[in-house]
Amino acid sequence: MASLWTPRAMRIAPRLDPTAVVGPVQQRHALLINPFYPKDPHASFGKHVLTPSLALTSIAGSTPPEWSVQYWDENLLHGPPPSDPFPQVVGITVHLTFAERAYALARWYRQRGAKVVFGGLHVLSCPEETTPHADAIVLGEGVHVWPEVLRDVECGSLQPVYRGTYRRPYRDDPPPRRDLLPRDSFLTTSSLIATRGCHNRCGFCYLATDGLHMPYLVRDVEQIVDEFAADDQPYAVFVDNNLGSRPDYLRQLCRALAPLDKIWSAAVSIDVTDDPSLVREMALAGCTGVFVGFESLQNDNIKEAGKKSPRTEDYARRVRILHENGIQVNGSFVLGFDHDGRDVFARTVDWIEANRLECATFHILTPYPATPLFRQMEAEGRLLHKNWNLYDTSHVVFRPRRMSAEQLAEGYAWCYRRLFSHRSIWRRRPEDSHAVLPYLAMSYLYKRSNLFWHFLIRYRLTAAIWRPLIEVTRRRHLKYRATLAVSEQTPPPSVGSLISAGV
């Protein structure tokens, strides 16, 4: 694996000058900030610039036309957020791992006359903590509340708390303002969202946060297609929690996306393979990769987490269905469940290699505030501390049941060392010989280039490096799906027929 040396710019937020003098507040100018967060040296630095924050670009999309709006992501390593022109309102998204940075930014701007508005999951889960640091907080969905906030600022009647709802028709959301983005700083600016919510409510997931009532809603398929077409990008990432929660909707979406001749990836649960013909439709529509939350290979862990999932013994067969349709698999695994012993690390990576998952991400089990897992850990006295900076799934913040905290931390690091090794990358190469070179190029750029990523990010070379590989992948996929289309009239057998045949 590449050295774990981490550049300062990837570890420490840019300095905010306490003596800085700014100009007068520019009326009706809003600044939206995605705060800096330290990068995990075990994982890929490149993943932080795959797509921009859809939350902030969506908020920008709902900004009234008489307001000017600016987007700033500190993780693009271009320094602290701007102050010229000085904004009348600063909107900051707050996650628990960068809450302290959000508070520092808020303090700096408030001291100089700006109104600061907080939104995000940490605001919802810990409102009593976040409220003193802002002039106003938004609980829940902020897209439809944001214009009200700005009107109140203009009238001098800003309220301390605003409440948004996730129950409004999803089709009413305005399109995000992608024109505000530095397009050369991301793999793709086409981060799309078609659905909201998930049919699972896992006890460890942020979707289980108290007060977060997010019914499963979908946007009109035509809206998604129009957004993808308008952004003039060959590749999109669906940031939905689970694009496959409603198979009928996913099938409709796929049929509408197919004519674009573009490629995309999405997060789905492994039960999307219940119907192999749906997987075929995904491939024909341009799906080249899926992010799958396997979470664990131990059924007892899955059951106790409250996740609706097929038996883990069936995961391998389901992965093959995706691979047979030319869809790469990025598996997500959580380490440290109560049924995990010290053998979980080698067992998990061995399975990943045996099933040739093109990529995998590992997460230390983390009890997010206001989730069922947090309440359980707190009641059992197993929380080590409440330093939110370390609640980032790469640090151990609780006492595991079947190993020590130190063993869990070292096992997590070992999984990444093994996965990022030359040997593991080669073992997991695709069976299709024509796909090996693009796979190796992607793997080495994504997984073993941490020594260079801070340079690529700072000098806005992300798009220049990634997009030629994306175009090669797109063209390969168009050829591959042409072969799939030949057999479209005889789709793969259903799970039911396989079972009845004794497979």
Q: pLDDT category, 446, cuts 50, 70, 90?
A: confident
CA–CA dist 188, 467 (Å, integer): 8
Q: How far apart are CA 250 and CA 238, in angstroms?
A: 12
* Pick from 189-198, 277-286, 388-397, 494-503: least confident: 494-503
Percent above pLDDT 90 for the chain: 80
pLDDT, mean of residues 303-331? 94
pLDDT of residue 447: 83
Q: Where are the CATH 3.40.50.280 domain residues in the chain?
A: 8-163
Strand partners, 26: 87
CATH number of the 8-163 domain:
3.40.50.280
| Cβ proximity of 88 and 153 under 8 Å | yes
* pLDDT at position 256 over 80: yes
Concatenate the DSSP letters of all residues of 319-369 into one string. HHHHHHTT-EEEEEEEE--TT--TTHHHHHHHHHHHTT-SEEEEEE----T
> Mean pLDDT over residues 28-50, rounded?
94
Q: Which residue has the higher pLDDT, 482 or 501?
A: 482
* Burial class for 60, CB neighbours closer than 10 Å (0-12, 13-18, 19+): buried
Cα distances from 482 to residues 180, 229, 476, in angstroms, run: 36, 21, 10
Closest CA to 322 of 279, 362, 286: 279
What average pLDDT does range 119-130 have in this prediction? Answer: 92
pLDDT tens digit string along 176-205?
999 999 999 999 999 999 998 666 556 556
pLDDT digits (tens, 9 = 90+) for 453-481: 999 999 999 999 999 999 999 999 999 88
Fill in the amino acid letter for 350. D
When pLDDT is cut at 50, 70 and 90, the band that residue 170 belongs to is: confident
Of the candidates 491, 501, 502, which has an alpha carbon nearest to the alpha carbon of residue 321?
491
Instruction: Give the position of tokens 């009413």.
Output: 172
79 Rama class: left (phi>0) / alpha (psi -120 to 50) / beta:
left
Q: Count of H helices and E strands in the chain?
A: 19, 14
**pLDDT score recorded for residue 231:** 94
DSSP 294: E
Encode pLDDT of 346-359 as tens digits: 999 999 999 999 99
- pLDDT at residue 335 tops 80: yes
**Which of the two residues, 62 and 490, has the higher pLDDT score?**
62
Is 105:35 a contact under the CB 8 Å cutoff?
Answer: yes
Q: Identify the band that residue 85 occupies on the pLDDT scale cut at 50, 70 and 90.
A: very high
Structure tokens at 22: 């700014």
Distance (Å, rounded) from C-alpha 97 to C-alpha 249? 34
Q: Are 442 and 469 in contact (CB under 8 A)?
A: yes
pLDDT at 5: 74
Class of residue 343 by CB neighbours under 10 A (exposed 0-12, middle 13-18, buried 19+):
exposed
Q: What pTM does this model have?
A: 0.91
Would the pLDDT of 448 be above 90? Answer: no
CATH ID of 189-428, from 3.40.50.2000, 3.30.200.20, 3.20.20.70, 3.50.50.60:
3.20.20.70
Q: Are 203 and 306 in contact (CB under 8 A)?
A: yes
Q: Which of 463, 457, 416 is CA-nearest to residue 9?
A: 457
The more confident residue out of 169 and 334 is 334
What tens digit of pLDDT does each residue of 374-428 get? 999 999 999 999 999 999 999 999 999 999 999 999 999 999 999 999 999 999 9
pLDDT at 168: 78
**Residues 191, 51 contacting (CB under 8 angstroms):** yes
Does 495 have pLDDT greater than 60?
no
**Residue 272 exposure: Cα atoms within 13 Å on the Cβ side:** 31
Residues in a beta bridge with 274: none
The mean per-residue pLDDT over the stretch 248-257 comes to 97
Residue identified by tokens 């306490």 is 18
Query: What is the C-alpha to C-alpha distance for residues 393 and 236, in angstroms, rounded to an integer?
Result: 26
What average pLDDT does the structure give for the chain? 91
- pLDDT bracket for residue 206 (50, 70, 90): low
Q: Where in the chain is the domain with CATH 3.20.20.70?
A: 189-428
Q: Are 55 and 92 in contact (CB under 8 A)?
A: no
